[in-house]
Structure 1
Amino acid sequence: MSAKGLYQQKRMAAADAIRVVKNGDTIVVPTAVGEPPALLTALSEARRDFRDVTVSQILPVRKYGYFDPETTEHVRHTAYFFSGASRAGGQEGWIDYIPAYFSELPQLINRNQTPADVVFSMASPMDEHGFFSLALAADYTMAAIEKARVVVLEVNPNVPFANGDCHIHISQVAALCESDDPILEVGLPKIGPVQEAIGKYVADMIPDGATLQIGYGGIPDAVVMQLTDKRDLGIHTEMVGDGIMTLVEAGVVTNRKKNYHHGKMLATFALGSKKLYQFMHRNPALEMHPVDFTNDPFLAGQNDNLHAINATMQIDFMGQCGSESLGFAPYSGTGGQADFVRAANRSNGGKAFIVLPSTAKNDTISRIVPTLSAGTHVSTSKNDINYVVTEFGVAQLRGKTAKQRCEALIGIAHPDFRGELREAAKKMKLL
């Protein structure tokens, strides 16, 4: 049968497509806007028809009906990474969490260490060869497709057809539904004077010709805004967003100096505006790949001059970063921070930046602390940390002694807290 014939045979309403799910199945859903809203809404509405079904995902962007503590015996969520939609459930205990480096999620799926029975995903319209593009998030979804019993797509004309290893053929699809709703747009985070100050410190340390990995958040975006005078930057990242698109349009990102995948931007998921999604469509300079390719420290580290910029919430005197929890309460997840810190450390000429405001809660709490709060999940280890940046300066920690690290971090703490930090360091025999 032709690809068009198969398409028509498999096309149905979302309410019918979800019936491929069996009790006990785990449904894998892509990162963020790669999630299929029509399918997940239909699943939510029919959730009481199922038992022991799990939806596994990084960063859900909508709070669907199945995010319900009263119906977890029917359909429950398991987080690879928490978002605003799932965070409360994680902190209350009715949403569970799988700790893992983002780069290793495909491996966990491939080795049957985490299940993938069904895949639900957004997809572009089918091309003339019978292929769809999962441009919004290739991440761990491509690995799940290889393992899953069935794959169900939500086909939407607003999803770009991107290049890279992010394609699936109609013959691999069990069912599909159609929607034409706009892809959810996520605006740039708010940037204030603290973020701008941190951004300037980092931007001043990024040379022309560097390859960038840029995490999500106000400070990474503040760095991007201050790179407009650079030349011939490259991109090898996990998330492509509006900031990167802006640098491309300004002629700052050319990828001409990249020695690894010369001339190409690489990413594993997209999060931004309608303009970004249109920018991705058949763009020969951009490729979307699975996360075990984009985030693998060995592969990403083959980029010379890789500069990785990621945020944390708390750092202690040894340089341990607590980026994903508030004490023992989960807040986000491991994600790709450690992947790219290690990649930048491997890179010839690379730099790994961890950025954070010096304080929290209106300057009442120092984010630089003697020891991490009890129960805090360590995201980047003391052995991997390199540059730490606050609005008060830069501390370079890699290769430094414990005493040198402590002194450098106190030097970039908020002045109001430096005295008490020094007293704590003396009691710890670090000063």
Structure 2
Amino acid sequence: MSSLRAFGRISKLLQGPLKCPSRSYYAGTMEPFHPYPDREPNWVSAEEAVSAVKSGMRVFMHGAAATPVTLVDALAEYGKKANLKDVEVIHIHTEGPGTYAKPEYAGIFRSNSLFLGANCRQAVADGRGDVTPIFLGEIPHLFRRKILTLDVAIVSVCPPDNHGFCSLGPSIDCARSALQNAKYIIGLVNKRLPRTFGDGLVHISHFDALVDENRELPEHKEHILSAEEKQIGKLIAENLVHDGATLQMGIGSIPDAVLAQLGNHKDLGIHSEMFSDGVVDLVKTGAVNNSKKVLQTGKIVSSFTVGTRKLYDFLDNNPFVVMCDVAWTNSPAIICQNPRVTAINSCIEVDLTGQVCSDSIGTRIYSGFGGQVDFIRGAALSHDGLGKPIIALASSTKKGVSKIIPYIKQGGGVVTTRAHVHYVVTEWGIAYLFGKTLRQRAYHLIQIAHPDHREALEKAAFERLKTMPVP
């Protein structure tokens, strides 16, 4: 019996095959929280679990620190063995080898990245994989509005508690919406996955197949910060982060560098799409207590995390942290309600008018939109008028090429528009662009470019604008 036919066996419980109208909650979507009476999933091997996948299906794969690596590898192996064709694997960035995206699986699987990770970059560059440009906060809409229908969802969960509830652990993001809308759900029950509070609780009766696991989570080791990154962190911490601020940090060493400088701040709060080990240290020093936040006062709010075992142990069974659906955490209408929203994001390059390229290097797609625009806008719209949308980058590459440039590279994508940008920070200073004309923007950006490039940038600004940059 095929997996979908097996699912049909329980359709009476679900009031109609594959539609599940009884699984609803306040937003009118299917709800994985409540128990189904008299329904238990099958505990099977990894190979048996992924055998539910058939040619032509669309499969959601859990991402970030919760990437179910064992099932990723089992799915790839099964795809070859069963001669599968045209299986679409859809996900945000995943950790591990991303086996299905390797060249030998072309034609069997095609990866579709909603945020591109390192393990899928070559597949996209070679034309064997796809990228869907989308704001992180809008990914759940793809599933809930049936723009992308999901046949199978493969997720990691912690073991069930005494009441039968599992947790999606460190990666709620769009995984909750995938579970709400997938026709068949496979869970990798990993004893090493932290149990988290918030939107990621799932009752065991919603799974169709479960696989037992005891494997360490993927880790991102802490970066060794460069002198430039440390200086950027110092500039932001001392000039733009104030006591009582609500912080959002994107991925990368520059947000980490800012966190490393905040140990003496007071009453900081966290409302972010993600965070890493640096926040744990600020909780221990007392700098982060979330006491001034309007929403979820007293609690860290996030959607996913990636870090080391220190972070995962901090998350485990900790009510101080609430992991939420990314459609809520990343809604600008939600973000702007907190005090002094300070959004700290990095990028690849900025042109002289303030256009920000964050997802690509020329035509080569490098990452994705993520939550950058969601939080840049949320900070700009802060109800208290004290929000600070910040774009931070080193002034030049390791090879000495300027990252402040006359034009975005051919084929490069604008993620954050020049109308969104307020603060741009390099190791040479802070440029405030909001309300500035194009020639003023050029002037202030040239002042924070590397000194070796300022004269050339000034000439390029004149050629582009037909006038000299002015303060």
Shorter chain as denominator, the TM-score bin is over 0.9
Residues 346-384 of structure 1 show CA distances to partners (whole Å, capped at 9, x for unaligned) of: 112110110001011421x11101110111011111110
> What secondary structure, in the 3-state scheme, does the structure 1 residue paired with 2:218 have?
coil
**1:372 corresponds to which residue?**
408
Please tell me whether residue 136 in structure 1 is matched to residue 170 in structure 2.
Answer: yes
Cα offset, 1:18, TM superposition: 0.7
Aligned AA (1:91): A
Tell me how far apart the structure 1 counterparts of residues 105 and 254 of structure 2 sit (CA, whole Å): 38
Residues 66 and 76, structure 1, Cα contact 8 Å, conserved in 2? yes
**1:327 corresponds to which residue?**
362
Indicate which of 307, 319, 322 corresponds to 1:284.
319
> What secondary structure, in the 3-state scheme, does the structure 1 residue paired with 2:187 have?
strand
Residues 3 and 130, structure 1, Cα contact 8 Å, conserved in 2? no
Within 5 Å, which residues of 2 pair with 1:25-424? 25-48=57-80, 49=82, 50-204=84-238, 205-347=240-382, 348=384, 349-363=386-400, 365-424=401-460
Residues 51 and 78, structure 2, Cα contact 8 Å, conserved in 1? no
Residues 74-124 of structure 1 show CA distances to partners (whole Å, capped at 9, x for unaligned) of: 122111122221111111111111110000000111112223221111101
Residues 96 and 218, structure 2, Cα contact 8 Å, conserved in 1? no
> What secondary structure, in the 3-state scheme, does the structure 2 residue paired with 1:56 have?
strand
50-59 vs 171-180, which moves further: 50-59
- TM (norm. structure 2) is 0.89
Cα offset, 1:64, TM superposition: 3.5
Q: Structure 2: which 5+ residue stretches go unaligned? A: 1-12, 14-34
Residues 112-149 of structure 1 show CA distances to partners (whole Å, capped at 9, x for unaligned) of: 22232211111011011111100221111111111100
Aligned AA (1:78): N
Residues 44 and 64, structure 1, Cα contact 8 Å, conserved in 2? no
> What secondary structure, in the 3-state scheme, does the structure 2 residue paired with 1:359 have?
coil
Residues 3 and 129, structure 1, Cα contact 8 Å, conserved in 2? no
Indicate which of 36, 48, 64 corresponds to 1:16.
48
Tell me how far apart the structure 2 counterparts of residues 38 and 156 of structure 1 sit (CA, whole Å): 10
Cα offset, 1:332, TM superposition: 0.8
Residues 307 and 352, structure 1, Cα contact 8 Å, conserved in 2? yes
Tell me how far apart the structure 1 counterparts of residues 102 and 430 of structure 2 sit (CA, whole Å): 44
Tell me how far apart the structure 1 counterparts of residues 99 and 418 of structure 2 sit (CA, whole Å): 41
Aligned AA (2:333): F
Aligned AA (1:11): W
Residues 315 and 322, structure 1, Cα contact 8 Å, conserved in 2? yes
Residues 130-177 of structure 1 show CA distances to partners (whole Å, capped at 9, x for unaligned) of: 111002211111111111001110001111111101111112111010
Residues 402 and 430, structure 1, Cα contact 8 Å, conserved in 2? no
Cα offset, 1:4, TM superposition: 12
Cα offset, 1:6, TM superposition: 5.2
Residues 178-219 of structure 1 show CA distances to partners (whole Å, capped at 9, x for unaligned) of: 110111221122301000111111001211110100112111
RMSD: 1.6
Residues 35 and 120, structure 1, Cα contact 8 Å, conserved in 2? no
Structure 1 stretches (4+) deviating beyond 6 angstroms? 1-5
Cα offset, 1:390, TM superposition: 0.3
Q: Structure 1: which 5+ residue stretches go unaligned? A: none
> What secondary structure, in the 3-state scheme, does the structure 2 residue paired with 1:424 have?
helix
Tell me how far apart the structure 2 counterparts of residues 316 and 3 of structure 1 sit (CA, whole Å): 54
Aligned AA (2:142): L
Aligned AA (2:124): G
Tell me how far apart the structure 1 counterparts of residues 216 and 395 of structure 2 sit (CA, whole Å): 38
Tell me how far apart the structure 2 counterparts of residues 78 and 373 of structure 1 sit (CA, whole Å): 24
Cα offset, 1:31, TM superposition: 2.4
**2:6 corresponds to which residue?**
none
Tell me how far apart the structure 1 counterparts of residues 142 and 419 of structure 2 sit (CA, whole Å): 24
State percent identity of aligned pairs. 37
Cα offset, 1:3, TM superposition: 8.7
> What secondary structure, in the 3-state scheme, does the structure 1 residue paired with 2:430 have?
strand
Tell me how far apart the structure 1 counterparts of residues 224 and 377 of structure 2 sit (CA, whole Å): 28
Tell me how far apart the structure 2 counterparts of residues 12 and 324 of structure 1 sit (CA, whole Å): 39
> What secondary structure, in the 3-state scheme, does the structure 1 residue paired with 2:460 have?
helix
Cα offset, 1:430, TM superposition: 4.3
Cα offset, 1:51, TM superposition: 1.7
Q: 1:30 to 1:193 in 2, by over 3 A?
A: same
